[in-house]
Amino acid sequence: MNKFWKYFLLLAWLSYLFVCGVLLFTRGFLLTRRSLVDRASCTENVDCSSYLKNSQEEPSALNTQLYLDCLDGDQLKLRQSEASVRCAKSNRRVVLILIDALRYDFARYNHSVKEEERQPFQNRLPIIDELLRTVPNNSLLFKFIANPPTTTMQRLKGLTTGSLPTFIDIGSNFAAAEIDEDNILDQLIGQEKNIVFMGDDTWTSLFPKRFLRQYPYPSFNVWDLDTVDNGILKHLTPEILKKDWNLLIAHFLGVDHCGHKYGPYHAEMTRKLNQMNDVIRDITNTIDEDTILIVMGDHGMTQSGDHGGESSDEVTSALFMFSPAPFLSSEMVVKTDVVYQVDFVPTLSALLGFPVPFSNLGKVILEALPVTRYDKNIEHDLSFALNVLQNNIEQMMLYINTYSRRIQAFSKEKISTLTEKFHALKKKMDSVNDTASLKSFHRDSIEFLNFLREMCESVWIQFDSFSMSRGLVLTLLLIFFSTFIVEGIPPDHLYKVLDGCFLWVAYGIVVLCACSSVVLQYFRIVEDMYLFTYVSTLTISIITMAKAVVQHWVDITNQWYQSSKNRRWTDVLSRFTHMCSVVLLFSNSFVVEEGTVLSYLLNATVWLTVFSTATPKIDNYVSKNRVNDKVHWMKRVFQHPKFKQIVLALAFTFLLRLSHQFWRCREEQKWCLVAVEGNGYFSPGKSGNTKLASITTMIGLGLFVSFMRIWLRDSGNLVGFSPLVVLVRYAPNVIVVCVAGFWMLQGLPLETRSKLFVPWQLHVLPCTAYVLIGCGIISVFVQGISVYVMEKKSDSFTVYGHVNIIPQIFHKIKKEIISAEGSEKDALKNNSPLVYGLGTAYSSSFVMLAKFVSLLVILLLGDAFANSIVLMGALTTILLALLCIDRLENTLISAQLFHVPWPYVLCWGLLFSYFFYGTGHQPTFPGIHWNAAFVGTGQSDSHIISGILICINTFCSQIIGGITLPLLLTAPFSFYIRFSRFCQPNNQHGDMVKTQYRSDLKRGDLYLYEKQTLTEHAVFKLCSKYVLFHSSRMFCSMLAAAIHCRHLMAWMIFAPRFIFEAISFFTTLGAVLVGHFLIIRVTAKVDQLVNGLLKKHS
């Protein structure tokens, strides 16, 4: 095994350990709520003799539990009514229309808005306002408040179980698992009642085999506005007319998908809401007197049409109820305009006559219950309302007591307070005998149930301090010892370590710990296999690393002492800058404005690099007697040693500022204005400015592809007809055409698009682009290099395109004539081959890979954000040029170029960390570009493919930054052979040193191959530094999340930031390993080429 592979395995091992550390912390921080599988029932048969003995004692937790257990026991009747009243029979039926993302202002009619001034979503459901005005006693409209996260699956859990989903449940929004908690559907089935469902197929994943009849439709394709809705309309009316069901659920998705694709301000939103208005009107005209219509939204949407967070627009939806029978009188119940979504569960239980699900934390909406009789018999309504309230209170108390006994989540003080309130409320219930006393009891019940729910919310997530603390400590130690190994142990000593048994021990630890955890869990010695694996692997590995550090401590101290002598002031300042960037992660204000801060730090670091070295004297540039002459003054400016770097830095600053227009706003940024509208794709009806932006995108995309092709062509890497050369030469043009065509097709009006194309035809273009991009990426790794060998004896040879080969031939002949010391006859005998592209063999491979990956990202980002990748490429090129000039002009010997200083790594890390924001992303769930999941996937329901596309879209900057990281090492060699006139050697060079220095650099990337030992260690050290840069950010994000776990903004700012940072870190680790592997692959191919030429011409 050569050194390259040993360094690669060491880097992969360190990456695995970092992943273990983050996952260990995650298991403690992002816990899901423990669900109870208990089921509520109408009657309970238990031994209540102990309650009889203690019934006269003071209120206690024991007495409370006994009371709850004995509510309907055979030996004790605590109510005057029969036990069967708890599940009073009901002949009512409910039609539940769930309009996904029905925001409250979509349903509320605004009479102050003029017809011509209303927004596309305003006053589009007039049937609701009409019913509220004409039959106010039979119709109700509420603000329907959802508990975050506002994703569909979590909202369905809340709407069916009455429980509060935890934050991390958002991760399973698109991979729904069957609900095992008690819920309204299982309770209905337990009462031998039937359910019919149609719409979003998430229901059939959460509740399989629960429906009498079901008509599910795929829900994940948010570009499809009509398939689900039209499918429902096909079956809705025929099902309503049937009499064999008790609950009919119709889940419409068109409004939600319209928000994702177009936003709420698009004309398509008007069309979808008008369609929903017709649906509601038809149902109200169809249902009989025993059927109640419920129209609700599961969540709202932001101004951009997204959801998933906890902003007011996202959590506020609408609940509308219509009943042919009037609702309970306001004299009897407390009226409200705002209800929580969990309140729907006990309300539906009361309507259909089944037990409230065991885990419910909602309070029944009494005013939404119809009267029991049409004869206005107050006593029946009074008894019914009181019974419903009592059931609700007792169910929640039973749940809290059970949960507290099993999990001990609540303190004794809270349980004691809750018990006293419960017994006081129970005594007051006995005195209810008229409407006034019922209304008073209802008010006290609301207060009690709110107190109980808030108590649960305050302690719902129980953090695992063991996993969190171990994760933090072990990750910090891992960073600490990794720094010693990477920065401290000299290259020759480090290779001796790797050449020994270190790697065998390292990977043996990984395998041993993984196997041991499986065996120990099998024999039930450990409860959590993953927790044991993470802790044991990290602990033993860190001990192994510490042992290696101690053994080489003298070498480490000597290495650092020597390094400190040559340390520049920018090294210290760059570390301070990095420390500031990670420490500020502890501030919620910084997290909100991180894009701005990263932009500033990046720009500042680049300018510090420009002035990091002293400026040589320039007295001899012009004559003194003409110094006042303007022409020579300008010449003096242009000849200044820092002029090139200042110009590049100014261009960098300008383009960096230009990239701000691609930022997306988050809810907390009240000052922010979105510069880029839309969802990233051509939309019909664009304004002139937006159409101009689309044209600019196409121009930028053309320049991006052309510039990279010109660079590769002039470097000699596009000569010949190898598969890689053909793909790099022609495929990008075809990909650009496919991408542009796809965007234009998406911009066609829906009606036109539907008439001209069938759905699969719309995805031919992106699929073609995927195939070409995939072939290009595979070719880069398979072929490795793009080098063409032409034997001199050939009379003719193939030249790509219009390459300017004549000057190359002239210079080559001139060089051979000058270097030839023999006769012309001797010169002609030289049959050495011409090798094109060998001087940029390493750099060109990374440019080709970056070209194909960038085109993939551009396709997924859409036309609105495509130019952000163009800007990122331009800024990367300028940064590399600036750093190359700085290194080439301040290096004494060529071997120093193999050391990439920390300031350069910092610039690279900050650049691609910034472009997470520069490509239109934010560390918030509503900010995810969900549209990327449907580019070229057609009607596919594969969550894996969709998830991969979303990850590529979201973390594109980390992917590109990781795979192109080795350019920091290879760029100076490629840059010199292309632009040697821009680089002046350091004045400290002697003539002989200068000659040797230039001779080494003229070899270009071939010098990297010749000095393979230096290259191997340099690549590992560079990749390790980059990993350490991101690992320090990861650690501080973990620590900030731990410190602020009870902070007001914990789940709104710090937790999402941690989750996005973790996924970004994992993505970076993978991308860096890919870049390291490509270096190995290129080296192997160059070695194969050189050895073949030597063998052939020896």
The pLDDT mean for the chain works out to: 83
Beta carbons within 8 Å of 374's beta carbon, 6+ residues apart = 325
Residue 2: its pLDDT value, please?
79
Residues in the chain: 1098
How do residues 724-738 score in pLDDT, each as one tens digit?
999 999 999 999 999
**pLDDT tops 80 at residue 273:** yes
**pLDDT tops 80 at residue 678:** no
Name the pLDDT band for 559 (thresholds 50, 70, 90).
confident
H or E element at residue 189 = helix 184-190
Kindly calculate the radius of gyration of the chain based on its CA atoms and give it in whole angstroms: 35
Residue 676: its pLDDT value, please?
52
Most confidently predicted of 66-70, 400-404, 556-560: 556-560
Closest to 337 in 3D by CA, of 145, 149, 147, 163: 145
Q: Name which of 649-653, 671-675, 832-836 the model is least confident about.
A: 671-675
CA atoms within 13 A on the CB side of 641: 19
Q: What are phi and psi of 923, to 5 degrees?
A: -75, 55
Name the pLDDT band for 157 (thresholds 50, 70, 90).
confident
Residue 403: its pLDDT value, please?
82
More confident residue, 832 or 823: 832
Residue 752: its pLDDT value, please?
80
Q: Are 387 and 436 in contact (CB under 8 A)?
A: no
More confident residue, 878 or 619: 878
Closest to 685 in 3D by CA, of 737, 740, 746: 746
Distance CA 887, CA 877 (A): 15
Distance CA 322, CA 131 (A): 8
How do residues 39-55 score in pLDDT, each as one tens digit?
888 764 344 444 444 44
Residue 432: its pLDDT value, please?
86
In angstroms, how far is CA 401 from the centroid of its own chain?
38
Closest to 92 in 3D by CA, of 318, 325, 272: 325
How do residues 528-550 score in pLDDT, each as one tens digit?
899 999 999 999 999 999 999 99
Residue 827: its pLDDT value, please?
38
How do residues 940-986 score in pLDDT, each as one tens digit?
667 788 889 999 999 999 999 999 999 999 999 998 888 877 766 66
* Burial class for 825, CB neighbours closer than 10 Å (0-12, 13-18, 19+): exposed
How do residues 336-367 score in pLDDT, each as one tens digit?
999 999 999 999 999 998 999 988 999 999 99
Dihedral of alpha carbons 21, 26, 27, 28, sign: positive
Residue percentage of the chain with pLDDT more than 70: 82
Residue 31: its pLDDT value, please?
62
Angle of helix 863-889 relative to helix 688-714, nearest 10 degrees, comes to: 40
Distance CA 1067, CA 952 (A): 9
Single-letter amino acid code for the residue at 85? V
Distance, first Cα to last Cα, the chain: 28
Beta carbons within 8 Å of 49's beta carbon, 6+ residues apart = 75
User: Can you give the pTM of this predicted structure?
Assistant: 0.79
Distance CA 988, CA 583 (A): 40
How do residues 912-937 score in pLDDT, each as one tens digit?
999 999 999 999 887 888 888 888 88
How do residues 1017-1072 score in pLDDT, each as one tens digit?
999 999 999 999 999 999 999 999 998 876 667 777 888 899 999 999 999 999 99
Residue 239: its pLDDT value, please?
95
Residue 63: its pLDDT value, please?
56
Q: Are 611 and 642 in contact (CB under 8 A)?
A: yes
Looking at 288-341, which runs of residues are DSSP E strands? 291-296, 316-322, 338-340
Distance CA 250, CA 556 (A): 69
Which residues on adjacent β-strands are paired with residue 844?
none
Quickly tell me which residue has 């400015």 as its tokens: 689
Distance CA 794, CA 807 (A): 19
How do residues 495-522 score in pLDDT, each as one tens digit?
889 988 999 999 999 999 999 999 998 8
Distance CA 909, CA 921 (A): 17
Beta carbons within 8 Å of 973's beta carbon, 6+ residues apart = 839, 842, 843, 897, 1001, 1003, 1004, 1005, 1007, 1008
**pLDDT tops 80 at residue 310:** no
Q: What average pLDDT does this structure show over 559-564?
A: 81
**pLDDT tops 60 at residue 191:** yes
**pLDDT tops 90 at residue 792:** no
How do residues 63-118 score in pLDDT, each as one tens digit?
565 555 554 433 333 333 333 345 667 889 999 999 998 999 999 999 998 888 89
Cis peptide, bond prior to residue 149, ω within 30 of zero = yes
CA dist list (Å): 647 to 650, 863, 878:
5, 30, 10
Residue percentage of the chain with pLDDT more than 90: 45
Residue 168: its pLDDT value, please?
55
Residue 1045: its pLDDT value, please?
78
Residue 612: its pLDDT value, please?
75
Name the pLDDT band for 845 (thresholds 50, 70, 90).
very high
In angstroms, how far is CA 621 from the centroid of its own chain?
54
Q: What average pLDDT does this structure show over 258-276?
A: 90
How do residues 448-490 score in pLDDT, each as one tens digit?
999 888 888 776 656 778 889 999 999 999 999 999 999 999 9
Residue 991: its pLDDT value, please?
63
Residue 174: its pLDDT value, please?
43
More confident residue, 668 or 576: 576
Q: Are strands 93-99 and 291-296 parallel, antiparallel or unpaired?
A: parallel
Closest to 602 in 3D by CA, of 914, 346, 954: 914
H or E element at residue 95 = strand 93-99
**pLDDT tops 80 at residue 223:** no
Residue 657: its pLDDT value, please?
94
**pLDDT tops 70 at residue 614:** no
Most confidently predicted of 195-199, 586-590, 758-762, 1086-1090: 195-199
Q: What average pLDDT does this structure show over 158-174?
A: 65
How do residues 325-335 score in pLDDT, each as one tens digit?
899 888 888 99
